[in-house]
Amino acid sequence: MPLIKICGITSWNDAKAAVDAGADMLGFVCDENSERLILPDVFYEISSRLPARIICVGAFAGHTHPQWRLASAELFARFHQIQYYDDAIWPEVIRENWDMRRKVKAFHLTGDKDLRTIAAFNGLVQNFLLNVHAPAPAGHPHPESYGWSLAREVHQFGKRIYLAGGLTPETVRAAVVNVRPYAVDVTVGVEASPGVKDPAKMAAFVRAVRGEK
């Protein structure tokens, strides 16, 4: 069974609902342009109240909020993992101190060419997050699962694969069966509105991952 990461948590109510639904990992977005930005003091408060089993992931892409750029090593230590796209502006404290086993390199997987980019990171991190949004070539026999078949090819690198990209309670079971990821990662598919989670959608997502009705 893959681990379940619910990303874009912005409040204690949403964090609690995600935990109650059965999430294993919670993602906290540090990008100042995201509708799901969380500030350090709110993250501190939420992370202080979470059960010990929950893995906290800091999500970095683009313009890291100034408060996060200046945040202390002690606060960053509350992130069990850091997930990052190449365009992320790194806080100094992460650049210098982070263990590769706790880094999750995120990629947009849009086609075959991205597999070569991913190969170049093979020796650098142990976890790959694949944000799959790959339109199938014209006439492809299985357009609905083309992106997942690309994601499956990434297993050749022997990394932990975190599968993301438009997953919903309706699609996640097929994604799990197709790709067999280490973890699934969802944001928009379990939201009521941008930055606000829907408890019923989170519960349905978890049931679907587990293959329950």
Q: Which amino acid is at 90?
A: W
The span of 23-31, 118-126, 143-151, 198-206 binding ligand LGQLAAA5 (CB under 6 A) equals: 23-31
Least CB distance to ligand LGQLAAA5 at residue 50 (A): 17
By CB under 6 A, what part of segment 64-93 binds ligand LGQLAAA5?
none
Least CB distance to ligand LGQLAAA5 at residue 34 (A): 4
Q: Are 90 and 60 in contact (CB under 8 A)?
A: yes
Q: Which amino acid is at 190?
A: V
The binding track of 122-161 with respect to ligand LGQLAAA5, each residue x by CB under 6 A or -, is: -------x-x------------------------------
The 3-state DSSP class for residue 64 equals strand
CA separation for the pair 148, 91 (Å, rounded):
33
Beta partners for residue 130, in sequence order: 107, 163
The 3-state DSSP class for residue 162 equals strand
Of the chain, the end-to-end C-alpha distance in Å amounts to: 16
Q: Are 194 and 174 in contact (CB under 8 A)?
A: no
The correct pick among 3, 76, 152, 166 for binding ligand LGQLAAA5 (CB under 6 A) is 166
Give 135 or 141: the residue with its C-beta nearer to ligand LGQLAAA5: 135
* Residues of this chain that bind ligand LGQLAAA5 (CB under 6 A): 7-8, 27, 29, 31, 34, 36, 59, 61, 129, 131, 164-167, 185-189
